[in-house]
């Protein structure tokens, strides 16, 4: 397929003026094309998209999802057989990590938002394959979801901030409204508060709510970085020694704006009229409407600027060398600011792209006089690629100031196209990113069997999938939601179209990505082009490709779970041609592998469900007592900052109120036990640092503690602690106190298991179920631990107490680890649950209790037949009003489709 495209792109040349080359080109155009094609075939771009059943959730809900793993032109990927899905909290700790098998590019799973593990707040869902981990994690599937608490939340809050600058510091007042679930204010209640940063309380205070439930928190003056990186933790005194705690992010507490400017093709050049895009955002990272003017250094107004969409806009300017240009901008609150535009280049060439009609792109290459004088008769190349595949290439000789040419849009697929102008030496001079929209999505239709329905009535919906008019076999997922309890801004949705065609190829935050695909018109297409001017596209570097500088590959594509290692003698020599036996006791599974000459062994496609233990044995070899098995550890993906922080909701109680009200009714309706009487309580002492004299000088209470319940599903302690240890940073196989590490003090924490000091590597031998608790001390009190060990901070692992009982000699020998037999936990495949959809008989009395489902129906396995047809059926809930059915998916050729249909329940 690559060779066919090569022949195509080489034959496509722009209608520029072609003259005889004045000199031999240093890098021929076909060399550039061939190297790019070779790179693309060697390093295919794999993507993961998750279709979630809902846009937001409540505690106790289940997140249902289908994973679409694609490669090249969105075709189902055969490259990877495993996909990973992580749930990350807003403290950058992994709450849950799923490993799912991928079949023919598809997988499905679920995440239960258990109330004892999850709390109200914002979470990230991140998905990727092992192959994708070789490249920039900015291109992983990464989505922010907001989770409310409708189960036991007695206090609903709403917070607003007011900030002011004072002599280099910032003053913030927070107005917090407290109400009960019935929307009644908590009046005359005492509220205590703390400003927290990296686990430390920087300031604290208290106040009392007024008769309307408001309290004003007066945060002392501080520097902006301290406030915005912290959180406000409040406690509402409910009486009877009960306090309800709430935590509010201060990331957007300070009113601030910023504007950035993006000249088309990357620079302003003397005498060349250019489009300049701009983007204005607030402290949350969301676009804001601004207006203003562009003036030169003489105060002459050169252009006006006004936002077109979500803080973005564009204006034109013909810059001159020696002049400086400034933007005077007015923000929504009436404040003003000035910004300098990029410096004007005295010599240069620019690349501009226009879309005059639906069929063509117009490319305009403009050089100024100085550039033409110095580069006349030199060769230049124009290359256009999408998804790493070159679809268009052209070569010309510079003889005029301006070249224009039309390129048919049908040369490119739907999606982002990168046009780059090269010198003959292969140096990228300028670049322009555009979006080509063919409106060629699959024609999906959903049709109900009745014009309307009643509650609890059966519904049958037929599916038709066509590519233009031809029926297609495709794989789809469908969700049916109650519109009343799950209202949504369709423009803000993450869809298969907005993700695979747009956000998966761009770095940075894209606000309301589905706006550009939700009933597109000319205005939306124009705004999409402005978005292209403001976003960077850096999937790969032409400079590296031409220099044959390929990215290092650390992880091979993964077709299944792999267990590997090396067999050595106890003197360290590798043992070749030896037998290794793999056993999974709880599955009655065994397999055998033979080591190579270097002692390496590997078991491929090991089917392990959930968290199981694997045993490797080398006993069936000569002199087996002298053999040692070393297992290769699993790699865990590090956590990066949330690229979609602006999607986090601070006031979840109010923003998600219809959903949470419905979830609260659903929970109350489903409960059987209204009252629990505790007759007796047995106190069980938990292991802690107080059990050991070694820690006598430590504070009585740890700064942070991780309970054993939080670690019960952790396969390897070191991997879980690297993200769960609040206040600590895990870098280069050591733990550091975060605040000190960020300040440049890189002294590791002292780690103990019980009273025994250990190396951090020792934690890789411990599983979560073995641990009773983990205690973190940011200071060592008067113990002298840090002074003696040259460390900073103390991390104590308290293991569960093992009941003492007499054992036989044979049992004792069984407890002694044998180096030729290794047993270790491994993360297996997570088994996906089946979505439960109740069945009703409308002629009989239905089940007791109200049916208040939010997700009426979910099915990740809708497969159309050769006629492009499929169907599914379900029963309505007790909710009346509008229901919404959403179907997404793709066919074998990578054609994407999405459709939304509404129907009425009376």
| Per-residue confidence (pLDDT) for residue 309, from 0 to 100 | 96
Give Cα separations from 527 to 74, 432, 870 (angstroms). Answer: 25, 16, 37
- Asked if the model's pLDDT at residue 671 lies above 70, the reply is no
Picking from 12-21, 34-43, 539-548, which range would have the lowest pLDDT averaged per residue? 12-21
The residue that leads in pLDDT, 810 or 212, is: 212
Q: Measure the CA–CA gap between 434 and 505, rounded to whole angstroms.
A: 12
Using CA atoms, how far apart are residues 670 and 650, in angstroms rounded to an integer? 29
For range 835-840, the mean pLDDT: 90
Q: % helix / strand / coil in the chain, to the nearest 5?
A: 15, 40, 40
Instruction: Evaluate if residue 676 carries a pLDDT over 50.
Output: no
How far apart are alpha carbons 74 and 141 in whole angstroms? 14
User: Higher model confidence: residue 474 or residue 733?
Assistant: 474
β-pair partners for 232? 195, 248
Cα–Cα separations (whole angstroms), residue 306 to 310, 327, 541? 11, 12, 34
High-pLDDT (> 70) share of the chain, %: 93
Query: What per-residue confidence (pLDDT) applies to 818?
Result: 66
Residue 12 clears pLDDT 90, i.e. is over it: no
pLDDT, position 670: 65
Q: How confident is the model at residue 678, as a pLDDT?
A: 45
Gyration radius (Cα) of the chain, Å: 31
What value does the mean pLDDT take over residues 221-245? 87
pLDDT of residue 742: 80
Pull the structure tokens for residue 187. Answer: 């009046």
**Distance (Å, rounded) from C-alpha 641 to C-alpha 91?**
10
CA–CA dist 789, 748 (Å, integer): 10
Mean pLDDT within 721-726: 82
Give the CA angle between residues 188, 189, 190 to the nearest 5°.
Answer: 125
> Of residues 673 and 97, which shows the higher confidence score?
97
Asked whether the predicted pLDDT for residue 103 surpasses 90, the reply is yes
85: Cβ contacts below 8 Å, ≥ 6 apart: 50, 65, 67, 97, 98, 100, 109, 111, 125, 126, 127
The answer to whether residue 252 scores a pLDDT higher than 90 is no
Centre a 10 Å sphere on the Cβ of residue 88 and count the other Cβ atoms it contains.
Answer: 22
pLDDT band at 384 (very low <50, low <70, confident <90, very high): very high
Burial of 414 (0-12, 13-18, 19+ CB in 10 A): buried
Closest CA to 157 of 668, 659, 666, 656: 656
Helix ranges (DSSP H) in 453-559: 496-501, 522-534, 542-546
Cβ atoms within 10 A of the Cβ of 110, count? 18
Distance CA(50)–CA(526), nearest Å, equals 28
Contact at 8 Å (CB) between 67 and 50? yes
């Amino acid at each position: 397929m690559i060779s066919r495209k090569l022949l195509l792109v080489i034959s496509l040349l722009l209608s520029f003026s072609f003259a005889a080359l004045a000199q031999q080109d240093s890098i021929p155009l076909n060399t550039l094309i061939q190297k790019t094609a070779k790179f693309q075939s060697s390093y295919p771009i794999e993507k993961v998209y998750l279709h979630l059943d809902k846009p937001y959730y409540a505690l106790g809900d289940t997140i249902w999802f289908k994973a679409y793993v694609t490669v090249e032109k969105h075709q189902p990927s055969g490259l990877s057989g495993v996909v990973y899905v992580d749930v990350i909290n807003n403290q950058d700790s992994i709450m849950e990590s799923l490993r799912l098998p991928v079949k023919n590019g598809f997988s499905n799973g679920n995440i239960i938002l258990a109330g004892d593990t999850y709390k109200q707040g914002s979470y990230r869902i991140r998905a990727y394959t092992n192959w994708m981990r070789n490249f920039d994690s900015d291109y992983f599937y990464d989505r922010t979801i907001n989770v409310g608490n409708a189960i036991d939340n007695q206090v609903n809050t709403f917070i607003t901030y007011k900030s002011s600058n004072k002599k280099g510091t910032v003053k913030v007042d927070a107005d917090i409204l407290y109400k009960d679930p019935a929307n009644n204010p908590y009046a005359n209640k005492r509220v205590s508060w703390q400003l927290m940063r990296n686990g430390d309380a920087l300031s604290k205070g208290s106040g009392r709510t007024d008769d309307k439930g408001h309290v004003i928190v007066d945060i002392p003056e501080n520097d902006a970085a301290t406030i915005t990186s912290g959180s406000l933790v409040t406690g509402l005194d409910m009486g009877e020694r009960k306090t309800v705690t709430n935590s509010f992010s201060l990331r957007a507490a300070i009113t601030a704006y910023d504007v950035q400017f993006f000249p088309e093709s990357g620079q302003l050049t003397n005498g060349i009229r250019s489009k300049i895009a701009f983007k204005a955002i607030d402290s949350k990272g969301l676009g804001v409407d601004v207006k203003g003017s562009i003036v030169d250094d003489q105060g002459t107004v050169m252009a006006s600027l006004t936002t077109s969409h979500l803080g973005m806009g564009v204006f034109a300017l013909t810059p001159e060398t020696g002049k400086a240009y400034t933007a005077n901008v007015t923000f929504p609150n009436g404040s003003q600011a000035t910004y300098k535009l990029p410096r004007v280049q005295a010599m240069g060439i620019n690349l501009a792209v226009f879309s005059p009609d639906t069929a063509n792109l117009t490319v305009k290459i403009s050089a100024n006089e100085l550039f033409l004088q110095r580069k006349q008769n030199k060769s230049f190349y124009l290359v256009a690629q999408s998804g790493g595949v070159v679809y268009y290439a052209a070569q010309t000789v510079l003889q005029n100031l301006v070249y224009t040419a039309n390129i048919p849009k049908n040369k490119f697929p739907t999606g982002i196209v990168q046009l780059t102008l090269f010198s003959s030496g292969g140096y990228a001079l300028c670049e322009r990113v555009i979006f080509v929209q063919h409106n060629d999505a699959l024609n999906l239709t959903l049709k109900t069997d009745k014009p309307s329905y009643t509650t609890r009535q059966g519904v049958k919906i037929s599916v038709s999938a066509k590519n233009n008019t031809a029926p297609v076999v495709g794989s789809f997922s469908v969700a049916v939601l109650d519109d009343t309890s799950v209202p949504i801004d369709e423009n803000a949705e993450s869809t298969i179209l907005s993700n695979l065609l747009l956000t998966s190829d761009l770095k940075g935050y894209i606000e309301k990505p589905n706006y550009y695909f939700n009933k597109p018109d000319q205005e939306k297409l124009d705004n999409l082009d402005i978005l292209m001017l403001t976003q960077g596209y850096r999937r790969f570097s032409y400079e590296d490709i031409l220099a044959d500088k390929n990215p290092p590959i650390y992880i091979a594509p993964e077709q299944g779970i792999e267990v590997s290692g090396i067999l050595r003698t106890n003197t360290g020599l590798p043992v070749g041609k030896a037998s290794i036996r793999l056993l999974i006791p709880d599955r009655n599974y065994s397999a055998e592998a033979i080591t190579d000459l270097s002692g390496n062994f590997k078991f491929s496609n090991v089917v392990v469900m959930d968290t199981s233990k694997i045993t490797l044995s080398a006993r069936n070899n000569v002199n087996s007592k002298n053999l040692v098995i070393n297992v290769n550890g699993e790699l865990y993906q590090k956590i990066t900052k949330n690229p979609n922080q602006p999607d986090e909701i601070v006031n979840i109680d109010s923003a998600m109120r219809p959903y949470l009200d419905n979830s609260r009714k659903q929970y109350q309706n489903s409960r059987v036990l209204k009252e629990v009487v505790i007759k007796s309580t047995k106190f069980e002492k938990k292991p802690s640092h107080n059990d050991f004299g070694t820690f006598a000088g430590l504070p009585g209470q740890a700064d942070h503690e991780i309970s054993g319940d939080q670690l019960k599903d952790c396969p390897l302690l070191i991997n879980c602690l690297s993200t769960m240890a609040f206040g600590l940073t895990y870098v280069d196989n050591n733990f550091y106190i975060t605040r000190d590490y960020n300040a440049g003090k890189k002294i590791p924490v002292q780690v103990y298991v019980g009273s025994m000091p250990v190396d951090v590597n020792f934690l890789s031998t411990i599983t979560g179920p073995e641990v009773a608790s983990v205690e973190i001390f940011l200071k060592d009190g008067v113990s002298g631990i840090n002074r003696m060990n040259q460390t900073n901070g103390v991390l104590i692992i308290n293991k569960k107490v093992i009941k003492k009982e007499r054992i036989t000699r044979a049992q004792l020998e069984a407890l002694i680890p044998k180096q030729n037999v290794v047993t270790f936990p491994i993360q297996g495949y997570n088994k996906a649950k089946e979505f439960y959809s109740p069945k009703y008989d409308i002629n009989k009395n239905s089940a007791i209790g109200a049916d208040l489902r939010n997700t009426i129906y979910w099915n990740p396995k809708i497969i159309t037949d050769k006629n492009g047809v499929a169907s599914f059926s379900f029963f309505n809930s007790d909710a009346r009003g509008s229901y919404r059915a959403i179907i997404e998916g793709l066919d074998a050729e990578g054609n994407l489709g999405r459709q939304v249909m509404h129907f009425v329940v009376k």
